[in-house]
Amino acid sequence: MSGVRVLVGTRKGAFVLSSDAGRAKWEVSGPHFAGWEVYHLKGSPVDPNRIYASQSSGWFGQLLQRSDDGGKTWAPVGNKFEYEGVPGTHKWYDGTPHPWEFKRVWHLEPSLSDPDTVYAGVEDAALFRTTDGGNTWHELAGLRQHGTGSEWQPGAGGMGLHTILIDPTNPNRIYIAISAAGAFRSDDGGVSWKAINKGLVSQYIPDPDAEVGHCVHRMTLHPSRPDVLFMQKHWDVMRSDNAGDLWTEVSGDLPTDFGFPIEVHAHEPETIYVVPIKSDSEHFPIDGQLRVYRSRTGGNSWTPLTNGLPQSNCYVNVLREAMAVDRLDSCGVYFGTTGGQVYVSPDSGDTWQAIVHDLPAVVSVEVQTLP
């Protein structure tokens, strides 16, 4: 019988939540790597038992862990991330040059065809790749050495590369996004890159439509239409119908267009989900009502989803990596909060229930749909 495995990264460890296709009864394992920040875990699409996890600590630095048995046991793999060549500088918060310094791995994106190949998005922003199951990592330096690299600047959470999307029809096409540099695309497997930020407008930078400097929070795509991209920016929900060459705003009737995650339905390429959050700096739901918004029209027209979600006194946040969908016939939607709840909707967002209530603050949520 098919089922799902939800991989949850938190500020104090990782958890694995498992259920059959009913998604009503859950088993919880963890904490794995207790006490460590786990920014992200993700399984190989080719071999679901192969899972990679990013484990980090302010004291002890970065570790990478690998499981070959679906998250039951783990073993450390390589954790040496060296920028290629002389790293140079990017801009610091005050605009002065600041040396590139590796801090942590924000995102792990396993290859669509090889369980030993994984891309890693790191802070300070760069893209690394392993082709030996995580034992060694090498930078795809064309991104950081893109002509604008010296102009990139961190967001409040650091200068992290947080989104990696691989085109399922063309593995040489890779999209990435960086806070707060923007979105970039490679058409040659990561060797060379171009900024794809035309159409983005950000009032918090001197030139609102500059080539780089936009604080992209998250991007997603549907595998059946990899040229169509959706983006949650630091204000503005955007879409592109031409692989990022041009973006248009689709915030439409959202109560606020600020938020962090964005996801697309597994079977409906025009159905997308966001979690509007109040900003500046409050970063909690409007009026204490936790609401996922769904658009069935690829944006512009949005409907609040509230059934099963707290509608009073709720002041949690939902971070950029903390939303995912499964691929069961009735698409499941999942998200985790900084209050430690992980919610599931087994019916595309119509109804919600908490799988767990009291985990440490949730940083990331990924879902594996198991045969």
Partner 1 sequence: MIRVVMPFHLRNLAGVGGEVLLDVEGPITRASVLDALEERYPMLRGTIRDQTTQVRRPFLRFFACELDLSDELADTPLPQPVQDGTEPFLIVGAIAGG
Footprint on this chain of partner 1 (rule: CB under 8 A): 35-36, 57-63, 76, 79-80, 82
Task: Give the Cα separation of 156 and 101 in Å (integer).
Answer: 16
Strands 97-99 and 104-110: unpaired
Q: With respect to partner 1, which residue has the nearer C-beta, 30 or 298?
A: 30
Q: With respect to partner 1, which residue has the nearer C-beta, 79 or 289?
A: 79
Q: How far is the CB of 122 from partner 1 (least distance, A)?
A: 14
Report CA-CA distances (Å) from 8 to 28, 218, 330, 363. Answer: 10, 18, 21, 8
DSSP 3-state assignment of 351? coil
Q: With respect to partner 1, which residue has the nearer C-beta, 82 or 253?
A: 82
- The dihedral region occupied by 338, where left means phi > 0, alpha psi between -120 and 50, and beta the remainder, is alpha
Q: How far is the CB of 143 from partner 1 (least distance, A)?
A: 21
DSSP 3-state assignment of 135? coil
Q: How far is the CB of 15 from partner 1 (least distance, A)?
A: 18
Show Cβ contacts of residue 281 under 8 Å, excluding neighbours closer than 6 positions. none
Q: How far is the CB of 103 from partner 1 (least distance, A)?
A: 12
Contact between residue 139 and residue 132 where contact means Cβ atoms under 8 Å apart: no
Q: With respect to partner 1, which residue has the nearer C-beta, 12 or 90?
A: 12
Q: How far is the CB of 79 from partner 1 (least distance, A)?
A: 5
Q: How many residues does the chain have?
A: 371
Task: Give the Cα separation of 169 and 184 in Å (integer).
Answer: 18
Q: With respect to partner 1, which residue has the nearer C-beta, 178 or 362?
A: 362
The CA R_g of the chain, rounded to the nearest whole Å, is 19
Q: How far is the CB of 14 from partner 1 (least distance, A)?
A: 14
Dihedral sign for Cα 101, 102, 106, 110, please.
Answer: positive
Q: How far is the CB of 61 from partner 1 (least distance, A)?
A: 5
Q: What does DSSP assign to residue 359?
A: P
Q: With respect to partner 1, which residue has the nearer C-beta, 58 or 371?
A: 58
Q: With respect to partner 1, which residue has the nearer C-beta, 62 or 153?
A: 62
Q: With respect to partner 1, which residue has the nearer C-beta, 1 or 75?
A: 75
Dihedral sign for Cα 146, 148, 149, 150, please.
Answer: positive
Q: How far is the CB of 73 from partner 1 (least distance, A)?
A: 12
Q: With respect to partner 1, which residue has the nearer C-beta, 35 or 208?
A: 35
Token representation of residue 341: 């709840």
Distance between start and end Cα atoms, the chain: 7
Q: How many CB atoms lie within 10 A of CB 164?
A: 22
DSSP 3-state assignment of 151? helix
Contact between residue 9 and residue 38 where contact means Cβ atoms under 8 Å apart: yes
Q: How far is the CB of 185 from partner 1 (least distance, A)?
A: 31
Contact between residue 309 and residue 353 where contact means Cβ atoms under 8 Å apart: no
